[in-house]
Every structure is written in C-alpha cells, then in structure tokens.
C-alpha cells in the first residue's frame, strides 16, 4: 500500500517497510484492509478560491462522504478513517491529527476518535505537518475498540519513552456516561442549526443513538463575559491573520 | 519529489487533476517563508496560537 497523503505527486512511491504502528498492529493480529481517503496533504495544501478549506477531498481518492448524512461535511483530515468504521467497512481505523484531524471527523461521522498525547505513538512512516503536534490515533465505533487499538499503537518516543504505559482497556468503565451533562458552545457555527439546517437531523440522530444523554442542544454553555484572552478571541485573531496570506496564483491559469 | 517546490511544480503541471477544487495557497505561503524554526515570524505565530515551545 502506498503512502501518498492523497496526492498524485506521490503515486507509485515505494515505502521501505511498515511504519512501526502498522508493524505493531500486525503483531497484535490486525489485518490491514486498506488505506482511507483524507483531505489531501491533511488540508495543508490550499483552499477553494473563496478561501474556504474543504474536508475529505483528495485528487487520489475524490470526495469522502459522511455515511449518515451524505451531503454533510465529513470533516477531516482523517475523513476516511472515520467513515470506514462508521460504515462498518472495518472494525477500527487509524487517523492522524495535527489539530482536530481525528476528533473532528470522528464527531461528524459518529465514531470515537482519540488523539493520544504527543510521544505516545510513533510518527515514523507517517507524512506529517508538524513534528511538534502530529500523532496517529485510534478511531472506532466503540470506546472499547478504541482502547484496544490504542494499546497496539503505543510506540513511545521523546519525553514519553521509558515511561510506564498502562493497558488502556483497564480504564473502561461500563455506564461511565450515565447521567453525564454534555456542554455545547453556542458560539460555534458548527452547532448553530439556523446557519446549518442539515445539522438538525444530525443532532436528532445523536439523541436517538444515546437516549440516556441529554441532547447537546439543550444544554448551552456561554462565557458570562467574553474576555480578550478567551479562546474565541485567539481564534478570531488566527482566522483574521490567515486572511493576510499572500493571494494564491491559480495554477490552472499558469501557461504550460 | 524531494521538496515542497517539487510538489508545487507538480500540481501546476497536473492542474486538471489536482487543482479542480482547491488551490495550493498554503504550500505557496510555506514556500515563501524562511523555513527556519527560529524565525521570529514563526515564533510569533506559535505564540499567537498558544502553542508550547
């Protein structure tokens, strides 16, 4: 199988050996069924002409579809690694994350995703954006499967190397979420159904799947006084700073 | 394919397959940086995002 980040530029590239995490998984009895699609180059290549970054498309794999709501954003960049277990194409999948690339597609495709602490899981054999942030992590339909896969992914390096690593399945606790109160920020446009009507069936599906939990839309958490140092403020600064990126040259307009 | 510049050139040469939906503005912005992890511009950006050292 080829490691291409979804780009045709790396098509045909030959890898010298399994990545350590793949070797670990095979040693634990896993059968590797295939590679999943992703946002090409983990969505660090570019955007649409209007500046919007799209999720789950690569030139090699095309568009990834959320199996529950086909025209809903599957999020990314590990889009296919969320969709594959969600659609029951496999029991577990491995995603990689710099910032949200496991947990966001996991949320949008209704599977469990976990970004391990940096250093718990080897980065070798993985195309990274930032060695200071990137890590592979487990994605699955069940928390138990996620813990089992995490156990076999463990391959510590850096500050984690040499530290005792627990068996993560020992932390599983039946009914741990019973009676849990789930907070949801009203500021997030992703959860504002008036701006995204397609989220309404998605939210109601959540409440069907987990009827013992209060639907996120019923509990709202809002900072009493937005402070200049709040996350929202930082995010606004970030997004506005992204707006100052130099205008791209549309390559298709380039002769030759 | 050894460098970011190689990838940028590849995408231009294969724009019908690669550039239909998205451009490569992030690649181009990255290529325009010094690539030096001690660059004050890079360090300031990390600080803005609240990233650790």
The string of pLDDT tens digits covering residues A135-156 is 999 999 999 999 999 999 999 9
Q: Are residues A89 and A142 in the same domain?
A: yes
Q: Are residues A96 and A205 in the same domain?
A: no
Q: Are residues A82 and A191 in the same domain?
A: no
> Which one has a higher pLDDT value, A72 or A80?
A80
Here the tokens at position B24 are 């490569």
**Domain assignment present for A235:** no
Structural domain boundaries enclosing B22: 4-48
Nearest CA in chain B to A6: B18
**Domain assignment present for B13:** yes
Whose CA is closest to A60, among A83, A79, A81, A37? Answer: A37
Q: Are residues A149 and A25 in the same domain?
A: yes
Q: Are residues A93 and A190 in the same domain?
A: no
Q: A42 phi and psi, to 5 degrees? A: 55, 35
**Domain assignment present for A211:** yes
Tell me the per-residue pLDDT of B8-22, one tens digit each, with 9 for 90 and over.
999 999 999 999 999
Query: Domain with A18 in it: what CATH number?
Result: 3.90.1300.10
Name every chain A residue with its beta carbon within 8 A of the beta carbon of B50.
Answer: 234
Q: How far apart are CA A21 and CA A28, in angstroms?
A: 10
Count of the separate structural domains present in chain B: 1
**Domain assignment present for B53:** no
Q: What is the pTM of this model?
A: 0.78
Q: Are residues A96 and A68 in the same domain?
A: yes
From first CA to last CA, the distance across chain A in angstroms is: 32
Tell me the per-residue pLDDT of A86-103, one tens digit each, with 9 for 90 and over.
999 999 999 999 999 999
Predicted local distance difference test score (pLDDT) of residue A245: 35
For residue A24, the number of C-alpha atoms closer than 13 Å in the C-beta half-sphere is: 18
Contact between A47 and B26 using a beta-carbon 8 Å cutoff: yes
Q: A218 phi and psi, to 5 degrees? A: -85, -20
Of A100, A132, A166, the one marking the end of a domain is A166
Q: Are residues A106 and A155 in the same domain?
A: yes
Q: Are residues A76 and A197 in the same domain?
A: no
Contact between B25 and A9 using a beta-carbon 8 Å cutoff: no
**Domain assignment present for B10:** yes
pLDDT of B2 > 70? The answer is yes
**Domain assignment present for B36:** yes
**Domain assignment present for A210:** yes
Distances from the Cα of A169 to the Cαs of A21, A155, A175, in angstroms? Answer: 18, 17, 15
Count of the separate structural domains present in chain A: 2
Structural domain boundaries enclosing A70: 1-166
Does the interface predicted TM-score (ipTM) exceed 0.95?
no
Predicted local distance difference test score (pLDDT) of residue A232: 41
Q: Are residues A134 and A202 in the same domain?
A: no
pLDDT of A221 > 90? The answer is no
Q: How far apart are CA A80 and CA A105, in angstroms?
A: 8
Name every chain A residue with its beta carbon within 8 A of the beta carbon of B45.
Answer: 241
Q: Are residues A86 and A180 in the same domain?
A: no
Name every chain B residue with its beta carbon within 8 A of the beta carbon of A54.
Answer: 21-22
Mean local confidence (pLDDT), A193-219: 49
Alpha helices in chain A (DSSP H): 20-27, 79-86, 103-108, 143-153, 199-209, 231-242
């Amino acid at each position: 199988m080829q490691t291409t980040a979804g780009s045709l530029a790396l098509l045909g590239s030959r890898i010298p050996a399994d990545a350590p995490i793949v070797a670990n998984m095979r040693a634990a009895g896993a059968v590797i069924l295939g590679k999943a699609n992703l946002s090409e180059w983990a969505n660090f290549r570019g955007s649409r002409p209007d500046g919007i970054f799209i999720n789950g498309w690569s030139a090699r794999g095309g568009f990834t579809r959320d199996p529950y709501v086909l025209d809903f954003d599957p999020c990314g960049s590990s889009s296919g690694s969320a969709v594959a277990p969600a659609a029951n194409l496999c029991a577990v999948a491995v995603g990689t994350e710099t910032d949200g690339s496991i947990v966001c597609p996991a949320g949008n495709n209704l599977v469990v995703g976990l970004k391990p602490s940096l250093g718990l899981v080897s980065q070798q054999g993985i195309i990274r954006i930032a060695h200071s942030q990137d890590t592979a992590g487990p994605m699955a339909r069940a928390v138990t499967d996620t813990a089992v896969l995490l156990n076999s992914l463990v391959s510590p390096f850096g500050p984690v190397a040499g530290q005792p690593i627990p068996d993560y399945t020992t932390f599983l606790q039946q009914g741990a979420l019973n009676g849990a109160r789930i907070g949801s920020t009203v500021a997030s446009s992703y959860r504002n159904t008036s701006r995204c009507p397609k989220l309404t069936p998605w939210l109601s599906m959540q409440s069907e799947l987990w009827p013992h939990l209060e639907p996120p839309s019923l509990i709202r958490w809002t900072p009493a006084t937005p402070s200049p140092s709040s996350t929202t403020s930082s995010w606004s600064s970030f997004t506005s700073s992204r707006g100052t990126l130099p205008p791209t040259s549309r390559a298709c307009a380039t002769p030759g | 394919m050894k460098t970011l510049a190689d990838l940028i050139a590849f995408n231009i040469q294969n724009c019908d397959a690669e550039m239909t939906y998205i451009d490569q503005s992030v690649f181009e912005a990255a290529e325009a940086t010094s690539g030096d992890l001690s660059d004050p511009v890079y360090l300031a950006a990390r600080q803005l995002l609240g990233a650790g050292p």
